[in-house]
Structure 1
Amino acid sequence: MTVDNLNNLSINLRNLERDFKEKIEPYRSDLWRYCYSLTRSPWDAEDLVQDTLLKSFSILSKLYQPVKTKSILFKIATNLFIDQKRKDKHLNFSENDEFVNNIPFDDDLQLLENIDFLVTSLTSMQYVVLILSDVFKYKGKEIAEIVGTTEGAIYTNLSRAREQLRNGKKKEGQKNKTKNRDIEYNKAIDILLEGFRSKDPTLISSILDENVVTDITHSGIEFGSDETKNNSLKDWYEIVQTQHIDVSEYKMLWGRPVIIELEKKHDNQLYLNNVHYIETVNGKITYWKFYCFSWDLMEMVSKELKVNLNAEYFYHIF
């Protein structure tokens, strides 16, 4: 297949993807909260959401039976999460567990407060089942459909997970808490910050590697500096020209070094524009990830930083 044919195909797929995103939009925030409940990391949650949507879209042509949109999204997210845990050699469960009765469990606060203990003490299956049941209030039959096992196995794993929670004690300190690291600046980061603050696309362009990959989460991907200059960087410039003062800073947020791009408006308040993750090699940006279309993540960042959100730029993911 030639490049031209692939380009024609990509146009058709974009139209299909837009339709797909419109249909899943009512469930997207629920999916994000579920992924965050599983991963306990905003960054990992965003990655899991993105992988789930890509996987969901890719398998549509192979589905011949009617499916419930929310259920299939949760099912794919669950499978991806468990697959990752299996790769990490953290998975240890059997689908042939005997049936036990569903034990009432109403203390959601205890569940959330002990989440670090649960992540390290439960099997991946037990953890997923507990989150679906006690946080998202799914019934046993619904969880079995999402996870792909029997209702009896669900109740067994749920019972054992709750028993672990009742009997377990949180270890002293929080062993798994991410340690704060000193943030490491480099010349490329300093130039990028100056480019943002001075609203200078030419300065920013000067530090783009020729083969830079620009990943606009949920929106698109660009290969090469020319593509980035002519598209996402051009779009950025058009937006910031209408804004007052750009206040950008490089900081550690939830264990990841990111650039926080804010606008200081005439009311002297700060408004979150974008979150950028950058990788550099020899003073050049080789990978650039935008989170501006990740609505749920952007909302969480704005609350964490106690700033407003420039919501007019972040309507949806399509």
Structure 2
Amino acid sequence: MSDEPRDLGELSNDVKASWQRFLDVFEPLRPELYRYCRYLTRSPWDAEDLVQDTMARGFVTLGTLFHELPNPRAWLFRVASNLWIDRARRQRLERDALGEPAAAPVAPGHAPDERASREAAGTLVAHLSPQERAAVVLKDVFDFSLEEVAASLSTSVGAVKAALHRGRGKLVAPEADEPRAPAPGVLDAFCAAFNARDLPALTSLLLDSSITEIVGVVTEYGREPPADPRTGSFVGSLSPITTTDAGGVDARHLVGYLGGPPRCEVREHRGELLLLFWFDHDTGPAVRTVWTVETDGEHIARIRNYFFTPDVIAEICRELDVPFRTNGYRYWIHG
């Protein structure tokens, strides 16, 4: 019997195939899962992070189960709830250790604006436990039964009833969006280089330790792009969207797309400067992806490309009132 480890390439291919089968089952639940995470986190970026973490944890956990899932939807919400509750508790402990004040409740007679009302919906007062917030959202927003809420939160029906009694109606004003520092010239330089298709200029704007991520698909480290365009996000982003044998977007999402490369534009959203990427369609230009960028002085430290996050793209573009198209939730590897 050989003691040598199994070929990692073969193992990687097996995992990728299993991941695709996992997505076949759970991907239809993504829009509703995003809505749930959005209510919990009150941020599109944090919501998508929680969705990605939930899918990854669910994929790993599924391999440890020795029984069929009677309700995949409730189980996936349970994974999300547990992740968020653990994260919220850690954040609260950190705030308490630093002596930071909790958010103030809504003042009597205060009439928040439309967006504030939307953001406040389903958000409990800061001193309530994360479990109480999740219970109210699951019951009152997603119409879970008491038994389903209890299963999703790993607790009893009696505890859910108590949490609902304490939590209902106790909303707080949404925390004000903290304005981000104005974008340095590096973002304008990035857009100029991108629109000129100047890959060397683009990579020169990255820190040596930069991180470039296509959310939910691939993460690259460092400024040197990989030689393989299937994993080189800069190489891929400069090119037209494909459904070739090398992989790409499901063809059903490309109806009306004219096949040209995108154009980059800097836009402000809630005090944060984002990169929007416009693609030509038979009905006119439309945004197909949004990037967030973190900078360090005159260089880019991190890029997050939300190409395969339809829920984030839709929310951001609707708030900006710009036309958009989405690309599905996954990168398809053909052949």
| TM interval, short-chain normalised | 0.7 to 0.9
Which residue of the partner structure matches residue 39 of structure 2? 37
1:316 aligns with 2:318: no
Q: Which of 141, 145, 158 lines up with 1:139 in the alignment?
A: 145
Partner residue in 2 for 1:243: 260
Q: Distance in 1 between matches of 2:68 and 2:45?
A: 32
- Cα-Cα RMSD: 3.0
Map of 1:80 onto structure 2: 83
Residue-pair matches, total: 288
1:199 Cα offset (Å): 3.0
1:150–1:169: structure 2 CA closer, same or farther, 3 Å change rule?
A: closer
Letter in 1 for 2:329: H
1:171-250 correspondence to structure 2 within 5 Å: 174=173, 176-186=175-185, 188-228=186-226, 230=228, 231-239=232-240, 242-243=259-260, 246-249=263-266
Matched residue, 1:11: 13
Q: Deviations along 1:268-309, whole A, 9 cap, x unmatched?
A: x54113211223345333322110111110111121111111
Contact 1:197 1:248 in 2 (8 A): no
Offset of 1:189 from its aligned partner? 2.1
Q: Which moved more, 1:258-267 or 1:36-45?
A: 258-267
Task: Name the amino acid aligned to 1:47.
Answer: D
Kindly state the Cα deviation for residue 175 of structure 1 after the two structures are TM-superposed.
6.8
Aligned residue type for 2:32: D
CA distance in structure 1 between the partners assigned to 2:316 and 2:91 by the alignment = 28
CA displacement, residues 209-249 of structure 1 (integer Å, 9 cap, x when unaligned): 34432211121222333345642222222217943772511
CA, structure 1 residues 310+175, in 2 after alignment: closer, same or farther (shift >3 Å)? closer
Identify the residue that residue 290 of structure 2 maps to in structure 1: 275
How many angstroms apart in 2 are the aligned matches of 1:30 and 1:151?
23
- 1: distance between equivalents of 2:66 and 2:130? 29
Match in the other structure for 1:302: 317
Query: Which structure 2 residues correspond to residues 112-123 of structure 1 after superposition, within 5 A?
Result: 114-115=120-121, 118-123=124-129
Q: Greater helix percent: which structure?
A: 1
- Output one character per residue of 1:160-209: Cα deviation in whole Å (capped at 9) or x when no partner: 212xx1xx586xxx5721133442314x3232111222233232122233
Structure 2 residue ranges without an equivalent (≥5): 95-113, 242-257
**1:103 paired residue number:** none
Q: Contact between 2:238 and 2:262, CA under 8 Å: does it hold in 1?
A: no
Q: Which amino acid aligns with 2:131?
A: M
SS of structure 2 residue aligned to 1:25: helix
Distance in 1, Cα, partners of 2:189 & 2:118:
42
Q: 57, 60, 69: which is aligned to 2:59?
A: 57
Counterpart CA distance in 2 for 1:189 and 1:123 is: 40
Letter in 1 for 2:86: D
Scaled by the length of structure 1, the TM-score of the pair is: 0.80
* Equivalent in the alignment of 2:244: none
Percent of pairs identical after alignment?
26
Partner Cα separation in structure 1 for residue 118 and residue 238 of structure 2: 42
Give the match's secondary structure for 2:273: strand
Residue in structure 2 matched with residue 291 of structure 1 by the alignment: 306
User: TM-score, length-normalised on structure 2?
Assistant: 0.76
1:138–1:317 Cα change, 3 Å: same
Asked whether the equivalents of residues 133 and 143 of structure 1 are also in contact (C-alpha less than 8 Å), the reply is yes
Amino acid in the other structure paired with 1:246: R
Question: What letter is aligned with 2:304?
Answer: K
Indicate if the aligned counterparts of 1:144 and 1:154 stay in contact, CA closer than 8 A. Answer: yes
Question: What are the residue-to-residue correspondences of 1:92-131 with 2, within 5 Å?
Answer: 114-115=120-121, 118-131=124-137
Residue 64 of structure 1: SS of its match in structure 2? coil
For residue 126 of structure 2, give the secondary structure of its aligned residue in structure 1.
helix
Tell me the distance in 2 between the aligned counterparts of 1:145 and 1:156: 15
Structure 1's unaligned 5+ residue stretches are 92-108
Measured against aligned partners, the alpha-carbon deviations of 1:56-77 in whole angstroms (never above 9, x if no partner) come to: 1111221112222211210011
